Structure 1
């Protein structure tokens, strides 16, 4: 027994009770939020509480709206029966409209031909019987030429008022016909194929349209709701909550096709024996009423429980079981309340951002679109409440402990005002000037108001005037200082912006600044000078390198040309010694290779420095690739390489420099010839998508490709690590630089031994 009493004491201790109170408060808050959500999302939210007791579904505006919609659909069906049906069934051979499409060329369009034509051009009827389009481009293919309309079985010829009304385009005729067919399908589905609580009987002379053979002048009153009209009078006999909008009008209008006299019976079986829209909406309506009542209970219960638990938590906030006084959280409660407020604002902003980018997307997954806005707002309110609650209790504990003022920054500012006036850092300088201006304004305005009310003498009024002048002078002085500081900051910010944009020659005039700003200006000017010196050195170095390459290349080309010419002259002498001939061949090959290397160096230097002209013109990429394939087909056959081309039949135009583009392709094909595995295939592919023309060349490498793709486009880097092939290591680098220079993109993809180059240009 003693153990049980001890357990009860622990369970109902002050600490445990506070935990239970927090749990109760959060549970009550969840109940309250659920209740508000249930009420707000209810379809009858804006009707108040009276609808719960006084209104049934068949008395509601929703019921009346459905009846009006069904009456309109019913008479549309009555008008369309003879258009689409023969002997009560859909007849696809029935003629719908006829067009004169030329001299002696009258074309009749039947239901079947219209359906086929519409489907071929992207039309379809969706699950809501709405005419929709699969692909608008297919619809756009229908010609817009207007033709003379011979007849339209669904339209009255009296509608033709002007000569232009007798002409119609194919697109208009098809769209109009399929739209009516979709309405016919909907009505046929609702009133013929499926059982319906909506009963009707249309008697026009000897013609009767009905979906209930037992419905007549005697039995119509046995249904829950009904409406009766006839050609004999203006009144509509009904027990509906209001007279149906279009019943009289539609009934009379149908006499354009059918004979008088007429009698129209409309009834809705409120026992809802058929499972249709009325039965579903009735169940939904009753469910909504129950949910609304449940929501009211939740809201009321949540408010009561939240109030009780909140009062308990406020009363015992900071109190501990075995300690006197207020117990504070050592990490959070000692933070100044101004920081807590700022922290609260910061967290709320972050939560709003998270809710906007993440929460709203989750809401869109789980909640209907019509409730997205409410759910988003509710999510923000819940986040704010849950974040505010712990910060509010922390401020309350601090207040109870007497530390709210002691730990506040307001007290620190008050006590340290003189220190702020002496410190000359930018932040404290602006802060002190601002505080001085606010305090001066407050004091002077207060004195001005008090003295104006109480002082009546001339001396007193003169004192008020002097104080006002002093007030203006103080404001002008402080404003002037603040303005100068702000102007200095603007100049410094502009200097930083100019330097960041690349103007390293930008300097600030140090004589325009004073105080702490001048040291910042000097440092900024020194940074600018340092940047300018570094850039000058870099530019000088790049220029020297480019000049060195150009000069050396030109110096090499002169003796190299002489060597090539003399080797050629010696070969023409046809020396008898075979060894000499062999040496000459080697010498000719190596000197030619040296000449190519020299030319590549010069070109690489020009491309890297941008010292090269580009003339962009419209070029047929497909034709150029065909020519290149032809140029290299014989050369590739020397290594047993076979070109497999996948090229479009039509032209693909791009904007490029033909000379530079040829050099790019030449380098890529030569690279393939050097490094592709013998007796393999080289794949060439051209495609165009989203106005981007793409050229791809790929092959299997003869040597392992243990190198990154980006390294292959660096200068003097070769995929042949053993360097057994002839090459300068500049081919791919030049190709990439020239591609980028023409506005294209150059990418290398390596997958095992598969080497692939992809070049993309904008298609014209």
Structure 2
């Protein structure tokens, strides 16, 4: 028992919910570790994992290389701000090449036949210009004369701005030391002496190419300006680094990253293991509340598995597309600018963080969709319906049902497929013949197509006519026309089984109705015969009892017994008469002579004749009849209806209560409504009360045969009226509806 309880506890909804939350939390942890790792990798190469010091990183090497270039550019190429401003650092080749690129001038016959002069404001013609290129030459000449002098000034201004920017950048690095020396030992420029630099641990010396290297940085480094100048370049980096520049910031960041990476890898690995374990657990317990328990499917399991798979695949593809776009935006924001001009953890903007959040939401959404799909597959594997609940299996079952005899015959499917195939073949041959220009063959195939489709339409119309005939037959049967017969000989073979089924239903229904009518007739005859057989001796009994009541009996007990016998014999006589009348009324064997009947007068007469019984029961009759109500009915039958209803009121009404009788009429209908409060609870259905031998007093403590309401209903219906009963708690209401009398009824 304890083991079973423990097993069911592992299958509880709470545990599943906790594990589900843990699964998504693990995925979120994996994603966040990935984001942090991306954040690191965008500034540091993966080699940082195996790189022991900051000085051996690609980032340091690249920054150091850029500073070397800046030193040579500023001090060897540009030399000084005055030199740049005079234009002495402008080379003819570089200026002309830049000018041509800016104005999209391509080298050709014109540039080969001309030369820009030394003042950069005109052309020197070296060869003959072809006449067809004369206009192009004039355009080129005008461009050189008008634009090149101005372009040279702009070029010098750009060099001056570049000089100042590089000089300013060199001043920002207090950990970078350099000195440029002439071949004779004179100092050209630098922020430290040669003695200080050569005595440092991390130095490099360039004389043409490198001559000594203690940095392991770009051993193949070369600079054309340095080679041409003959200068010697000494450079070094402090170790340890001092605060104040990017070298120090990146060195500190390197240490932090080296300490963070093992934690990230460990956290990501643990989260991955936890996520896998949670997924395995959820798959194992999916759909069950205890081990080996009943598998309960959910709403998502109603989706066909192959359709479900396609939905998940489409969601995955759409998510991958979104992820690709989002990742591209993140990459652009992260790597779009020069990475060596900024530090790693200071370069992400708000937009990048927003994209990371959006990517995380997308990941969690995809994980939820994937988990729902996997758990659905798990439940259906346990339910042994993995393939059965697929669209393919459903189609196979539906196609199989065509051949099972439960629907149309299977060969109809082949006829439809064959019809389409034949049309395709004929149309193909017709198109080929028309394309080849074979008019006779094309006409022949067109004739075949027309003839084939005419025959198909004829057969289709015949089948539709058969279906219409079957539907008409079913409609006639639903209307009660059991004599309608379906002609099977004109039914299409496609619907012959359907027609036979309808015919069998009609025959069965007709037989059932005939048997029911015959049984009802036999029952009525039995009741009539038995009633007549009972009536003959009962008449003799009543006669002799009547004679005994007229005799003077000295014995009081005998006189009492004679009185009881007289009362019961008359009650039995009334019961037999009611039974005969009920039988005749239900079978429609009563004669109906309809005429003009004053409903108000008839009811008042019935109340008057039963006044003694009404007073004895302590009832107060409240009759409401505002206008004269003349109905078209049989007076004898209406009297019996009124008598039965008032007798019913006397028998079952609460003593000393009021009975409301309303006589009114609408445009075409006269209404008799009788309402009373029942003495005992009415626990019988209203529709059941109008059945024969049903009494509202199931204990049968009151007199009555249970035929009064049944007779009233039957008599109302054979006169073309309606009889309804409504029960609301102890309130009993009987409603008789009869057509109003009019002049046309007299003429009839």
TM-score, length-scaled by structure 1: 0.42
Please give the TM-score of this superposition, normalised by the length of structure 2. 0.43
